[in-house]
Amino acid sequence: MTERAAYIQMEGICKTFGVVQANDHINFSVEKGEIHALLGENGSGKSTLMNMLSGIYMPDSGSIIIGGKPCHFHSPKDAILSGIGMVHQHFKLVDILTAKENITAGMPGSFFIKNKGMTADIDKIAAKYGLQVQADRKIYNMSVGEKQTVEILKVLYRGADLLILDEPTAVLTPQETAALFNILRNMRREGCAIIIITHKLNEVLEISDRVTVLRKGQCIGTVNTAETNAKALTEMMVGRPISLEIQRPFVESGSEIKPMLDVQNLTIENQEKIKVINNVSFQVRSGEILGVAGIAGSGQKELCEGIVGLQKVSGKVIFKGEDLAGCTPGTIINKGISMSFIPEDRLGMGLVGGLDIVDNVLLKSYRRTKGLFVDRKQGEIMAQGIVKRFDISTPGIHHQVSKLSGGNIQKVLLGREVSLDPSVIITAYPTRGLDIGASYHIYDVLNEEKKKGVGILYIGEDLDVLMELCDRIMVIHQGEIMDILPAAEATKEQLGLLMLGHREEGAYHA
């Protein structure tokens, strides 16, 4: 690894957005035949830096040197011409076109499309790096892993020899991740340079040759992966030593196990009359965290919304001896089921971004007071309590929620739900986009509630977290339960296979 010249060098890169200094004199270099991990928490400036390398943004100052030659990109096209290609976290593919059409779209050429030549070219590249793609399949028929392969192929087809991958494993199963890593290793062997943006430490350690850590827009350092470990990297990333262990307190459940929420034969159809949740039965017990694992879009969202009355369901949702299926959200809230459901964009459902903390805190309890007017005094007291208990950093309780940071927004949401003294908490992706410290705070809060005897349904995406935090893990695949396993005994491979729909013989039956 010694005698390699830096292929791409970024020197003294600065970029500000308004008052935010997203990148502050960052130095960064990549060599050919190396996989370089760019590590940092949300908002540390990883994406900004890479967007400048791929021509989406222009740096305020600093220089980008490729093969010894300074370059100035004014558009992504300039970057592509210099051999730099980026695979974004959200795929930029046209669903109704085939893989081949997506790969070749936008390329210069004659008026008529030379089909044969293109197919040959694609096949050649695919064979070279070990990518498996059915070029004539439509994108909407593909799994997430396949779509990602198309994205990579698209970039390679355009002649990129530096590949930037933004959080490539966020939506993949362990098996798909392994396949991706094989592709990346092939590419490294062929002399490509690869940058992978991530915040998952185990992946950094597994695949990369070197790691550069960013924190709050500054470059903390670059280290050889072989010479570091998870603990040291976390410390670089967070700025202080931090424990990476998630607590799993054991709650005494007495002689008999009491279900808080008993879901029986729940079926949910979407607007196209397709069963997105199909005859699902499970129980959430008092004092336990039941984790839900599954690849994105397996019915997690519908399951949550169905239980709290936001979607039409058939079947039974029994809470304290009463069937809640078919009740309105208002009725269910009054019965003490608190759902803090956080969709992809956090302000999508649980909160109102344009309003202040007080108005958001009141969202579920304003109806409890009598009269025509909203009791904002009460709301102010509640908001103050939440801000204090959850250590929310805000200029005041009348600060607009959308102007808070992601972690603080999350705390407002969770704080409100917890302050309503619920018996059941349903939470989906509560730590998505949060930094490590904030995530651990959220786990602590959930554990505290668990100790109080609350039943928690936790929809997660990070298998490591699910395995450490939850008591049991329920795996769903295409709206059906594959199995419910005790978290302490489950292995990652086992969960991954179940997520993909491979059920073992003699296993769980609904």
Partner 1 sequence: MLKIIKRPPLAEKKMFILRLLAVVFAIAASMVIIALLGHNPIKVMIEMVRGSIGSKYRISETINKMVPLLTLSLGVCVAYKMKFWNIGAEGQFYMGAYGAGVVAFNFGSLPSYLLLPAMFLGGILAGGLWALIPALLKAKWQTSETLVTLMLNYVAIRWITYLQYGPWRDPKAAGLPRMMHFPDAAALPEIGGMHIGWIIALVLVAFIYILIRYSKLGYEITVMGENPRTAEYAGMNTFRILLIAIMISGGICGIAGIIQATGLEHSISPVLSSGLGFTAIITAWLSKLQPVSLVSVSFLFAMMLQGGSYLQSVMKVPSDVAGVIQGVILFFVLGSEFFTQYKIVWDKRRDEESRRVDA
368 binds partner 1 (CB under 8 A): no
324 binds partner 1 (CB under 8 A): no
Q: Which stretch binds partner 1 (CB under 8 A): 126-134, 214-222, 343-351, 464-472?
A: 343-351
Which of 91, 181, 366, 508 is close enough to bind partner 1 by CB under 8 A? 366
How many CB atoms are located within 10 Å of the residue 110 CB? 6
292 binds partner 1 (CB under 8 A): no
Q: Please work out, in degrees rounded to the nearest 5, the angle formed at the alpha carbon of residue 432 by the alpha carbons of 461 and 416.
A: 115
CB of residue 23 to partner 1, shortest distance in Å = 15
**Are β-strands 193-198 and 35-39 bridged in parallel, bridged antiparallel, or unpaired?**
parallel
Complex with partner 1: residue 317 or 332, whichever CB lies closer: 332
Beta bridge partners of 267: 314
**Mask 412-451, x = binds partner 1 (CB under 8 A)?**
----------------------------------------
Q: Quick check: 13 and 68 in contact, CB under 8 A?
A: no
The Cα 76–Cα 87 span in angstroms is: 12
Complex with partner 1: residue 351 or 490, whichever CB lies closer: 351
Which of 308, 392, 414, 500 is close enough to bind partner 1 by CB under 8 A? 308
350 binds partner 1 (CB under 8 A): yes
Q: Which stretch binds partner 1 (CB under 8 A): 240-248, 332-340, 389-397, 485-493?
A: 332-340
Tokens found for residue 88: 């974004």
348 binds partner 1 (CB under 8 A): yes
User: Cα-flanking dihedrals φ and ψ of residue 317, to 5°?
Assistant: -125, 100
The Cα 23–Cα 26 span in angstroms is: 6
Which helix H or strand E contains 17, and what residues bound it? Answer: strand 6-17
Q: Which stretch binds partner 1 (CB under 8 A): 181-189, 242-250, 271-279, 366-374?
A: 366-374
> Three-state SS string across 435-473, please?
CHHHHHHHHHHHHHHHHCCCEEEEECCCHHHHHHHCCEE
Which of 4, 72, 451, 502 is close enough to bind partner 1 by CB under 8 A? 72
**Mask 197-226, x = binds partner 1 (CB under 8 A)?**
------------------------------
Complex with partner 1: residue 24 or 464, whichever CB lies closer: 24
Residue recorded with tokens 């349903």: 426
Q: Which stretch binds partner 1 (CB under 8 A): 108-116, 333-341, 430-438, 500-508?
A: 333-341
Which of 49, 133, 214, 332 is close enough to bind partner 1 by CB under 8 A? 332
Residue recorded with tokens 């073992």: 504
Which of 349, 397, 481, 482 is close enough to bind partner 1 by CB under 8 A? 349
Distances (CA, A) of 223 to 63, 144, 158, 226, 232: 22, 32, 31, 9, 10
Burial class, 453, CB count within 10 angstroms (exposed 0-12 / middle 13-18 / buried 19+): middle
Q: Which amino acid is at 301?
A: K
**Which residues in this chain contact partner 1 in the complex, by CB under 8 A?**
17-19, 61, 72, 308, 310, 328-334, 339, 341, 347-355, 359, 362-364, 366-367, 372-374, 376
